[in-house]
Amino acid sequence: MKSNHENDKSLSDMTKASMRKWPNVPSVYGWLSLDRRGRWLIKNQRVTHKRTNRFLNENYLAAANGDWYVQNGPQKVFVNLEYTPLVFRIDGKDELVSHTGINALRIESIIFDDDGNLLFHTSIGIGVLDDRDIIRLSDSLTDDLGGNPSLIWKRTKFNVKNFTKADIPELFRFNRCPINPENKKRKDDINV
């Protein structure tokens, strides 16, 4: 029997093989999180090891129900999100790049939330701009006389939409705190 990840090109051959070999490994909830600046935390401790960060970034995926997780061999480790599933930075070439290192090639819309965060809905998903980069866009932000903000990004003018921070997960169909389906509530330990 083939796993539903058999043809997933984002997973390594070793990961696919381990999923076939051990198909019923329990998932993990409440251990891994992503902060507002795109930093990984395990049990609220920041991950500083470069290879571990690279592994987490390379194996970070979305489930159909809006949960985000890291595929750790045959095991899914679900991610608690401080805000959005992606965090964007502006690199030295003025490209919008996610915390996982993937360029956002197309911007669908730009959003301000009620906390003053700037979000980009892109070809790779929704993400908040790292707060350290907002100043880089300050000259590109304009406001007409009616209080309608816009932003010019690479010679394209975007009308900036306004939403509350609380509405963002539902609007963009992601879950900030995945729920263990066996418990029907968030659990702070391994699902065993």
Q: Which long-range contacts (CB under 8 A, 24 or more apart) does 177-181 make?
A: 177/80, 177/81, 178/29, 178/67, 178/68, 178/69, 178/78, 178/79, 178/80, 179/29, 180/27, 180/29
Query: Structure pTM?
Result: 0.86
Q: Structural domains in the chain?
A: 13-81 (3.10.540), 86-171 (no CATH)
Residues 120 and 184: their CA atoms lie apart, in Å, by 31
Query: Is 79 within 8 Å of 127 (Cβ atoms)?
Result: no
Give the pLDDT confidence of 49-98 residue by residue, as tens digits: 999 999 999 999 999 999 999 999 899 999 999 999 999 999 999 999 99
pLDDT at 192: 34
Q: Which residues of the chain have pLDDT under 50?
A: 1-7, 186-192
